[in-house]
Copies of this chain bind each other. A is one copy, B any other.
Amino acid sequence: MGKIKVAVFGCGAIAQRRHIPEYADNANVELVAFADPILERAQEMAATYGGTSYASYEELLKNEKVDAVSVCTPNYLHAPMAIAAANAGAHVLVEKPMATTAEEGEQMIEAAKRNGVFLMVGHNQRLMPPHVKAKELLDSGLLGKVLTFRTSFGHPGPEAWSVDGRESWFFRKEEAIMGAMGDLGVHKSDFIRYLLSDEVAEVAGFIGTIDKKDTDVDDNATCIVRMKSGAIGTLVASWTQYKGGDNSTVLWCEKGVMKIGTVEGDEVIIELTDGTSETFKVGAMATNEKQVPSGVIDAFVESIITNTPPTISGEEGLLSLKVILAAFESQATGSIVKL
């Protein structure tokens, strides 16, 4: 088998900082084409990494025969682009949130199935070393059953991350549809489902624009979730943690507590009711300031090469998406929403 020919749709921050360099570092991949409505961005990528550039992804699909596509565009384009790519016979890696409605998500899954291609969602949190270690420890049974938890993801907002700064699509509701919740909250709904091997049963949320000016996307979400197992917890996403932001999770369990990302340098800490404790230094989680390889691209490529369906599948992405959609519904209706 030759190299996998990959096209990237959207050449903004996530494409420039993670997808494209990680494809470039993968010996099994050839980057063949880039699409971005701001053609200069696509050209710049092509100049650096090889391949051709397009202002339109439809043109790209028409002209190039690609094996796989990364969708790195504003949220509202995830579904149509992923479906178009699948219809063109390409495996699809789509950034999170995979879609902006459950219907879109189902159509994406359907399109992939119909075309015999893989659909993977960029939920990189599952692959971060502290999260991998936490999952391994929890699954070992050391801590017993999870009773309650809190998980949160907060930073000062995407102004410093996006290549467009304050002018980013992140702040335009018609393109982003969701703000902090789509950027960060869906990471945590995915992670908590994955970590607990459990599904969310009920959710309530307060979501709104508390501090950001001239935008109507949410900059904060505080939610409570009840899992099918009965465990309850809080889930927070914030773009206004101007100091004190983090990506942390704490699980209070029958036999002790697990703290993930609460102490710099001690990424996973377990304190047991028998008085012992264990600390795991497994490498920091990526932050906007400190990029580490996400592992997502390598996992996607591995799936294709080995013809193994991706673990972080469209179905998984959809379940995680539904949690945050339910939180939005809770905010809108004033009721607790069952899933």
- Number of residues in A with C-beta < 8 Å to the partner? 57
Q: Which of B224, B276, B282 contacts A283 (CB 8 A)?
A: B276
Residue with the greatest number of chain B CB neighbours at <10 A, chosen from A148, A232, A276: A148
How many chain copies? 6
Nearest Cβ on chain B to A255's Cβ, whole angstroms: 7
Contact (Cβ within 8 A) B148 A243: no
Q: Which of B154, B230, B231 contacts A252 (CB 8 A)?
A: B154
Contact (Cβ within 8 A) A336 B204: yes
Across-interface contacts of A208 in B (CB, < 8 A): 230, 232
Contact (Cβ within 8 A) B250 A244: yes
Query: In the complex where A147-B210, A252-B238, A334-B336 touch, is A281 in contact with B276 (Cβ < 8 A)?
Result: yes
Selecting from A104-112, A169-177, A267-275, A305-313, the interface stretch reads: A267-275
Cα separation A104 to B275 with both chains bound (whole Å): 42
CB of A278 within 8 Å of the partner chain: yes
Across-interface contacts of A330 in B (CB, < 8 A): 204, 336
Contact (Cβ within 8 A) A232 B210: yes
- A-B complex: 8 closest residue pairs judged by Cβ atoms: A244-B257, A204-B204, A234-B234, A279-B279, A243-B271, A243-B257, A206-B232, A335-B335
